[in-house]
Amino acid sequence: MASSIAPTTLTIAPPDDWHLHLRDGEALEHVVAATALNFRRAIVMPNLKPPVTTTEQALAYRGRILAAVDKACMSGRYSEADCAQMRQFQPLMVLYLTGATPADEIDRAMVSGAVHAVKLYPAGATTNSDAGVSDLLGQCSAVLARMQALGMPLLVHGEVTEAHVDVFDREAAFIESVMKPLRSRFPSLRVVFEHITTRQAAEYVTDHATRDAQGRLLLAATITPQHLLYNRNALFRGGLQPHWYCLPILKREEHRLALIKAATSGLPQFFLGTDSAPHARHLKEASCGCAGCYSAPYALGLYAEAFESVGALQTTDAFEAFTSRNGPAFYRLPVNPGRFELRRVPETVPERLPFVTDSGIVPLRAGETLTWSVTARE
């Protein structure tokens, strides 16, 4: 029967990446190209040094990103067809929430049309989170009230930071001690639980995705390729594996399976967010290695593999919902026109990508062969 034959081609609306780190400076030109080629839009994280805390800074950063796309296209490294794709890329900007963010910054962000969300980094939770928030409801209630009133989404890195909470339990603890009190105080605030990694988070977002009076979702979650494909064993396979270290950290198999179930469910509250987070090789292979996996160039193939692992590619519906439809619906943006095609064409991930510093970047799955690759972008 046709339905039991393994598919060889996947045709989807052009995807977006709803959680991405592009960095800044010299790295930007190289990092942005991979995303601009594979995604039409991306929610760009604001955890630069110093962080992007104002609309003015976000607009300036947006300008640097678009200039970097231009520079990449002028470099001669990409074909004309690739550059035509890359030039369609739209960075969607995000403000970094601090204890000192004034409520009227939200008004400026809304008016700009370029800022699509505000990001909560609990202080000390992850890369460049020192300027983050230590007491969300205590420090940020006025800003959150304004965000709720204006419909500005809050994106959360959902981990508590208390030293006594085990690193593998920090996301589940966050649901109880921050997410629930936040949503009960601000029930119509739009919230994205970023890069979820646990059964508890998948279940919370499955069961508590309330809607506003117009029927629009108020809660969603992004899921990374590494959390769909790996459990925490990947960190210790044959020795310490720094390139699998990201935050929130990989969890037990039970959690990976819950994430796969959520991502492939077709439920509208789950969508693609790579959390592609490049760090130079020498900063990951170090006595104190940085957290973050660089996945942008191969992310679509990685997601396809995760879906196929549970037979969820028999039709493209759930895959396309996750990559290309649910995110725009939540962010109240149109689905991208055009089509992307993935085929069962093996592609080997390079051991190292020669940019940012002499040490380069080691992408997720370096040296391994992927089953699926992007074969057409229209």
Ligand X SMILES: NC(=O)N[C@@H](CC(=O)O)C(=O)O
Considering CB distances under 5 to 8 angstroms, the limit depending on partner class, which of Zn ion, ligand X, none binds residue 117? none
Binding site for ligand X (CB under 6 A): 21, 47, 126-127, 157, 246-247, 275, 277, 291-292
Which two tokens mark 174? Answer: 């966050």
Considering CB distances under 5 to 8 angstroms, the limit depending on partner class, which of ligand X, Zn ion, none binds residue 292? ligand X
Considering CB distances under 5 to 8 angstroms, the limit depending on partner class, which of ligand X, Zn ion, none binds residue 325? none
Beta bridge partners of 341: 11, 376
17 touches Zn ion (CB under 5 A):
no
d(CA 137, CA 117): 18
Edge-first strand order for the sheet with 373-377 is 9-12, 340-343, 373-377
Using alpha carbons, select from 62, 82, 64 the residue that is nearest to residue 73: 82
Q: Is 243 annotated as belonging to a binding site?
A: no
Query: For residue 108, what is the enclosing H or E element?
Result: helix 103-112
Q: Is 48:93 a contact under the CB 8 Å cutoff?
A: no
Q: Is 164:284 a contact under the CB 8 Å cutoff?
A: no
Which two tokens mark 288? Answer: 């104190």
Q: How many helices (H) and strands (E) does the chain have?
A: 14, 13
Q: Choose the stretch contacting Zn ion; rule: CB under 5 A; options: 66-74, 95-103, 157-165, 324-332.
A: 157-165
Say whether 130 is catalytic. no
Selecting among 70, 104, 169, 275, the annotated active-site residue is 275
Closer CB to ligand X, residue 228 or residue 277? 277
Closer CB to ligand X, residue 277 or residue 300? 277
365 touches Zn ion (CB under 5 A):
no
Considering CB distances under 5 to 8 angstroms, the limit depending on partner class, which of ligand X, Zn ion, none binds residue 47? ligand X
Instruction: List own/partner pairs for 262-265 with CB under 8 A and 24 or more apart.
Output: 262/196, 262/202, 262/205, 262/206, 262/221, 262/223, 263/223, 263/228, 263/303, 263/306, 263/307, 263/322, 264/307, 264/310, 264/312, 264/318, 264/319, 264/322, 265/206, 265/318
Q: Is 208 annotated as belonging to a binding site?
A: no
Q: Is 119 annotated as belonging to a binding site?
A: yes
Q: What sign does the CA torsion over 199, 204, 207, 211 have?
A: negative
Considering CB distances under 5 to 8 angstroms, the limit depending on partner class, which of Zn ion, ligand X, none binds residue 269? none
Of positions 126, 198, 264, 336, contacts Zn ion by CB under 5 A? 126
157 touches Zn ion (CB under 5 A):
yes
Of positions 275, 305, 308, 320, contacts Zn ion by CB under 5 A? 275
Closer CB to ligand X, residue 127 or residue 324? 127
Please state the closest distance from residue 227 (CB atom) to Zn ion, in A.
12
Which residues does the annotation mark as catalytic?
275
Give residues in contact with Zn ion (CB under 5 A). 126, 157, 275
What residue numbers does the annotated binding site cover? Answer: 19, 21-23, 47, 119, 157, 195, 247, 275, 279, 291
